[in-house]
Amino acid sequence: MRSITKILQLGFCWLMLGTPALADSSVDLIPKPRSLVWQNGQFEVNAQTRLTYNSAQAEEVARLFSTWLQPTTGYLLPLGEGQSTNTIAFVQTPGDAKDESYQLSVTQKQITLTANSRAGLFYAMQTLRQLMPAELESQQPINRAAWVVPAVQIKDAPRFAYRGMHLDVSRHFFDIAFVKRYIDWLALHKLNRFQWHLTDDQGWRIEIKAFPKLTQVGASRHHTVVGHTYDYQPLFDDKPVSGFYTQAQVRELVAYAAARHVEVIPEIDIPGHSTAIVAAYPELSCHGQPVEVTGQFGIFEQVLCPTEKSFDFLRQVYQEVAELFPASRIHIGGDEVLKEQWLASEQVARLMQEQGLESPEQVQSYFIKRVADIVTDLGKTPVGWDEILEGGAAKQANIMSWRGEEGGIEAARLGHNVIMSPYQWLYFDAYQSRSLDEPKAIHGLTRLKQVYDYDPLPQSLTTQEQARILGAQGALWTEYVKTPRHAEYMVLPRLAALAEVLWSPIDARDWSSFSHRLPALLKRYQSMGLNPSLSAYYPQIRVENSAENELKVTLDTDIAGLPIHFTLDGEPVTINAPRYQAPLLIQTPTTVRASSWVDSQRSLLGNLQLSLAPHKGVGKSYKFKHAPAEGSEKRLLDGVLAVDQFYDVNDFTVLYGVDLDVTVDLQTSAALSKVVLGVDAGMHRQLHPPRRVKVYVSETGQQWQEVAHLNEAQIQGPVLTLTFPVRQGRFVRVFAENRQDSHDPQIPLLPLYIDELQIW
């Protein structure tokens, strides 16, 4: 395999005009083919090369290849039937028209692409594209005598039939030109399903002629929240957002995708996530009151009422949608349905009595089954998020498992076909590293390697049950993704990792191999003018308590062998900073910063920063009066501060609807003078701090002395410091009162997030 440096050297060779270009991709195909044999020699594509075909469908693929090749090379290659030397032959053979397998043969005299179907020929073309120099992707003229392709024999076929990617255009609207480019990315990576999330609380994005207010009213909002929707003091940008796709644009996009073997699956999300619908047609709610399209993000109470008026509305909507989208499936949503408005509705109460429904979950099941029947009557298969299993799912529905794998496992056992889309691995709106350079994301961390390591087939299922797993799908939700450049960064190259998960045989997948092939793919993205993330090269940090008042810090990278440079004084990392060799032992408050040196970029990458506090409470025992969220108690005394990190719930001790009241046993008596409490949720998202804080000290754990407190006026987040005259004590008790909703004093406004309880 070629080193990153070697690839750069070859890239320099490509710039020499008038000479055949050496292919940079001799081992760099993504996704990895099923069978690949390298041979001696190469084929030169020049102005005399002829494109041949033996069927109408083969001709279509040949013309797509010619269209891709022409802008950079300037070649207007002749097309025709028959075969000869210096040809690229597109050959369709008799067989299953749904077969996506192909063969690709490159010799010194000819390139031959062979498949039973147009799809197979198209995927063979995508492989040929990757065998050719990345500069061809620029679509800018380059004067060169010939372009070479290494000699190779490839036999290939996908592992999964359903290979999908999703795009949310409701939260932030993306024009049709961008959506076409998005389709192009899917096609390059041999993905064949595109789920178009067209409706949500923040905007309705598709023209429905029977209900013009859906776009006249529902496609616009007055403003959008600045920062995260749960910020302590949310602000709005006062910039209207609007946009929708006309039916003519939808047909244009569907045809564009079909030519690239991408089936477009529309999502019309009901009965929740319906604020835009209710804003346009309030009579479809249970309350009938006017509402506005929201500029916030999250989960909202607006829900369609399970009345005949709602079902008549949806019948007409889905009928128009079905006519626009020839896909075999329609996604009906069904996720995150808040049921308060149903519970308060007399109409719903009567429905429950008439239908024998005993819970709001059964109301949801009734609603979804009615909609599933509508979709089925239109000749389509309904798809829903895994919440539609609650109360019982329609038998004909496909289940898309997003809250983990559990919903997909349950659905497969119940006999449903399943598409895996667990957020822990396949939601690309999460951060890609802990670098401070990462653009704003929703929360959480989904590294490139996490995507690559995912397997859609749960081992707990039987072989028969595994057969119901159709494949998997990635997702890009766009609450915090406003621009095409940001979208490119979030999707690429995680899309490539997903592609290899879904296409390549499981026994052929290998992270080391993938990471060696990655630089050539990144070069191809950059030639396409795209903005891929380089986060896979960024360093990572692990911290553990190694001894009394001591933390052990380990630095590494997912891509092996990269040099890491670091500082321990909070200063930026340079190439002259120490190179990491062995774990670091930290005994005083320290800010660790680290970056990786990457030859292919000739620069340090990643701006990792983590503040550590090896205080007296690290690793000590503790007892809560009110239990925190399961597993989160371990974060209270780990010595790691999250205040300078992006928000990740896993960094915090989280208390839902209760106060923090914790007692720490230091095991021996110690001189104490300060307690520090992190109370906000780090960079990019700050939650409500507590209303007041008190600190107590005791030698016995029975008799307590209050030594410090902060009232509401004194609390200025995100770090609260409480100092006091030196006190001797073994036990420290900290009380932080949760802030309550100003409208309802009985309900805490938000969970209480505690970063690190430092005891000094």
pLDDT tens-place string over residues 395-454: 999 999 999 999 999 999 999 999 999 999 999 999 999 999 999 999 899 999 999 999
pLDDT computed for residue 672 by the predictor: 98
* Check whether domain 538-611 has CATH 1.25.40, yes or no: no
Give me the pLDDT at residue 683, please.
Answer: 74
For residues 702 and 282, what is the distance between their CA atoms, to the nearest angstrom? 59
Question: What is the model's pLDDT at position 724?
Answer: 98
Torsions phi, psi for 714 (to 5 deg): -90, -10
Residue 17: pLDDT over 50: no
CA distances from 651 to 14, 77, 682 (A): 47, 58, 9
Average pLDDT over residues 326-355: 97
First-to-last CA distance in the chain?
53
The answer on pLDDT for 748 being more than 60 is: no
pLDDT tier at 718 (50, 70, 90 boundaries)?
A: confident
- Catalytic annotation on 336? yes
The residue that leads in pLDDT, 16 or 184, is: 184
Domain 621-759 annotated CATH 2.60.120.260: yes
CATH superfamily of the domain spanning 168-504: Glycosidases (3.20.20.80)
Least confident of 8-17, 58-67, 422-431, 535-544: 8-17
> In this model, does residue 26 exceed pLDDT 90?
no
Share of the chain residues as helix, strand and coil, in percent rounded to the nearest 5: 30, 30, 45
Helix (H, G, I), strand (E, B) or coil at 237: coil
Structure tokens given for 657: 């609807």
Q: Does residue 274 sit in helix, strand or coil? A: coil
Cα→Cα distances 67→20, 64, 77, 117, Å: 21, 5, 10, 20
Q: Band the pLDDT of 10: cuts 50, 70, 90.
A: very low
The length of the chain in residues reads 760
| Owner of token pair 């200025």 | 716
Is-contact 62 122, C-beta < 8 A?
Answer: no
For the chain, the domains span 4-156, 168-504, 538-611, 621-759
Residues 6+ apart with CB under 8 A from 473: 162, 163, 164, 165, 166, 193, 195, 400, 419, 420, 421, 426
Quick one: what percent of the chain has pLDDT higher than 90? 87
Report the SS3 class of residue 736: strand
- Taking only Cα atoms into account, the Rg of the chain, rounded to an integer number of angstroms, comes to 29
Task: Indicate whether 711 pLDDT > 70.
Answer: yes
Rounded distance, CA 278 to CA 272, Å? Answer: 10
Q: Given phi > 0 = left and psi -120 to 50 = alpha, else beta, which region is 426?
A: alpha
Sign of CA dihedral 44, 45, 46, 51: positive
What's the CATH number for 4-156? 3.30.379.10
| β-pair partners for 584 | 553
Mean pLDDT confidence for 679-686: 76
pLDDT-based confidence at residue 750 (cuts at 50, 70, 90)? low
Specify the pLDDT at position 155. Answer: 98
pLDDT of residue 547: 85
**How many other C-beta atoms can be found within 10 angstroms of the C-beta atom of residue 515?**
21
Residues 6+ apart with CB under 8 A from 323: none
The catalytic residue among 44, 60, 252, 336 is: 336
Indicate the average pLDDT of the chain: 93
pLDDT band at 2 (very low <50, low <70, confident <90, very high): very low
Q: CA-CA distance, 167 to 198, in Å (whole number)?
A: 9
Banded pLDDT at 11 (limits 50, 70, 90): very low
Rounded average pLDDT over 517-532: 96
Q: Are strands 35-45 and 147-156 parallel, antiparallel or unpaired?
A: antiparallel
> Helices marked H in 607-689 — which ranges?
none
Q: Which residues contact 699 (CB under 8 A, 6 or more apart)?
A: 669, 728, 729, 730, 731
